[in-house]
Amino acid sequence: MWSWSFTWSTLPYILDAMKMTILATIVGFAIALVGGLLLAMGRRSKNRLISLIFTGVIEFVRSTPLLVQLYFLFYGLPAIGISLGPFTAGVLGLGIHYSAYLSEVYRSGIEAVPRGQWEAAKALNFTRWTMWRRIILPQAIRPVVPVLGNYLIVMFKETPVLSAITLVEMLMAAKMIGAESFRYLEAFTLVGILFLILSYASSLLIRRLELKWNRT
């Protein structure tokens, strides 16, 4: 039976854990945004070996489950003297995992920049770095913003996997409430509803950002 009073009593705990979920998403996604760009650019390197190494890293990360990567970071690395807290290991894992996906998104954006843009930049004698920063990336990233936003939401919905490395995010909080009270229905339902609200709100936000950018 559903108990409203129990539901309200668990809400503060779950909202508290929600902060952790959101924080992990933001930090993890920030890592993925930067990491994905570096991977995409590394893969384009004219140096065959560098390009091959980056391609290998991307394929490796994409072909192994996030959960395995998290276990490796959290339970495996201490064996070689690197001990990470659950939050650090969690956002690193999410960040690295998603940077492999985002690198493909960036890649499609970069490849869509017409060849004439690279040639014009070269004819004006831009250095490689300035060309990337001022000519290529602004044109490459704008059209892929919706896809990047979509990955943000996908990543957000995948944060419960961090409960596997003891991070107290929303799912973990609900499990703990259930374990103490033997009532699982209310807590898990709340978690589901909160995920829905947050995902939907972010998708609206992303759509507005998209519209705003398309206007200019």
Partner 1 sequence: MNFASKEAPVVRYRKVSKSFGDLTILREIDLDIAPGEKIAVIGPSGSGKTTMARLLMTLEEPSSGTIEVDGEHLWHKNVNGKLVRADEKHLHSIRGKIGMVFQHFNLFPHMSILRNVTEAPIHVLGLDKEEAIDRAITMLRKVGLADKLDHYPTQLSGGQKQRVAIARALVMRPKVMLFDEVTSALDPELVGEVLAVIREIAAEGEMAMLLITHEMDFARDVADRIIFTDGGRIVEQGTPEQIFYKPESPRLQTFLSRFRAG
What does the binding site for partner 1 look like in residue numbers (CB under 8 A)?
114, 116-117, 119-120, 122-128, 130, 134-135, 138-139, 142
Determine the length of the chain.
Answer: 216
CB under 8 A, 24+ apart: contacts of 65-72: 66/93, 66/94, 66/97, 66/158, 66/161, 67/161, 67/164, 69/93, 69/96, 69/97, 70/161, 70/162, 70/164, 70/165, 71/164, 71/165
Q: Shortest distance, CB of residue 35 to partner 1, whole angstroms?
A: 24
What CA–CA distance (Å, rounded) separates 41 from 128? 12
Nearer to partner 1 by Cβ, of 19 and 122: the residue is 122
What CA–CA distance (Å, rounded) separates 12 from 130? 49
Nearer to partner 1 by Cβ, of 13 and 126: the residue is 126
Nearer to partner 1 by Cβ, of 15 and 209: the residue is 209
Nearer to partner 1 by Cβ, of 139 and 150: the residue is 139
Q: Shortest distance, CB of residue 122 to partner 1, whole angstroms?
A: 6
